[in-house]
Structure 1
Amino acid sequence: MTRRPTLKLWALVPAMALVLAGCGDDGGDGSNAGSGGPELVNEGKLTNCTGLPYKPFEYEDNGEVVGFDIDLVDLVAKKLGVEQEVIDTPFDGIQSGADFNSGKCDISSAGMTITDERKQNIDFSDPYFDATQALVAKKGSGIKDITDLDGKKLGAQNSTTGYDYANENAKGAEVINFEDLGLLLTAVESGQVDAGINDNGVLFDWVKEKTDFEVVKEFDTGEQYGMGLRKGNTALLEVVNDVLAEAKSSGEYDKIYEKWFGTKPSSN
């Protein structure tokens, strides 16, 4: 089923009885019934822009978008008394801030690393997940590190920290750019590229099913994910941070983490 260029929207979680919104202090253009809470771009909904697939953080399963990030945003939606709606959109519009500035979405949970460059365009929640870059290749390929890719093709995802890392460190390789993770991994599997680079969480998940492939190297990039919001949307940012803190202190975060990764986090 074609995902782009047509946008897809999924409404997750049945609507709560209470719809909390109104005139927040963020100066946004969205509207909601009621008062005392953050303004949202669509009444009764927390609109989440993300880029599919990015399993296990967000991906489509039997017509529904599910994943670790989606469950966390469900907690925010529940706190606001609204339902979550997911929009699948190219990642560049998220990290550049364009999707927020145009009123397409309120929040983005997209396995997105907090960077100084992105902070110029969007605001981030407190960190909620630790990540690093990793390299995936076919077993028996002889590729064990990025230095083994001289004269070979390395796949990377557009506008990501993996793409930046590849261009900075794989000087002898031809870096091939793909719009999303799904296209990148298809290229790795088909042999269109010799290896792929992306965040370790999604690559380790992929090789569980694609047993002819392995994660051959992790790079200590020390990344942390944050949820993105429009710059200056402080009312919603406060709610998101409060929800993340509550989830960690209550143990709910650990339950969600174990659901998607099979183990409890070593730290959060």
Structure 2
Amino acid sequence: MIPTLFASRLRARHLLAWLLPALLLGALAVFLYTEAPLAQVRALQGELPELFTVLGFYGDSSLPLFLLSYLYGLILPLLSTLLAIHLAARLITRPLLDGRMAMLLSASHSRGAVLLSLWWVMALYHLLLALAALTGQVLMALLLFPEANLLALLRLSGGFLAVSLVCPALTLLLACASPDERALRRRGGLLLYGMLALGLVARLPGWTRWLRFASFWSLFEGTRLIFNGASWQLPLLALALTLVLILFALLSFRGREV
């Protein structure tokens, strides 16, 4: 990794634009578990049960289970997808097109070191996004539900982070293989939003459950993380998939003209 390149790509204002919404969403999710908002959620669920099933609503018997339903069913996966596509365009595709990448490589830096430095920037953004959402949850839980199982919230966040890292790894590969930013956004949107949609549809009963095998989001099984703290096999599998995608990105970048 190239420390100066890594540090130069971190922008505090840009980070805050992503972390503040995640922090507020985490806090809001806990607030919705209070009596009055929860009653409204239950009433709405009674009117639209299929919609809540698609969105991944597992129930509200405990705060971690409610947060799994509200935050990790759609909102945080969608944020991770948006962030991954945005970062791949900003850090890789645009520098490839405007000559900044050629300048970096001409400064005696190897292609592998440059790409891995940019990958760690993308990974750090996703780590901070997950931590911001967790911080919002924990602070509000300490205020409203001091007896809540905070370890379960920590396991949820860790498992989600492990699976969400597939997003930047995939967009890293697509950025190295795409001719321009439009192609990156088109391909990234098709793959990542498509997998997210498949994961949502797979929650419906019937044959659609088989669609979960077409989406890497099926590797995030929050209920197992809540009730069985030792269930880390699927998150570890997601990390292995991330590593494979990074290796393919390195191979693609090595053969690309800059």
Q: Which category of TM-score, normalised to the shorter sequence, fits these structures?
A: under 0.3
TM-score, normalised to structure 1's length? 0.22
Give the number of the structure with larger relative contact order, counting CA–CA contacts within 8 Å between residues 6 or more apart: 2
Q: Between Structure 1 and Structure 2, which shows a larger proportion of helix residues?
A: 2
TM-score, normalised to structure 2's length? 0.23
Q: Between Structure 1 and Structure 2, which shows a larger proportion of strand residues?
A: 1
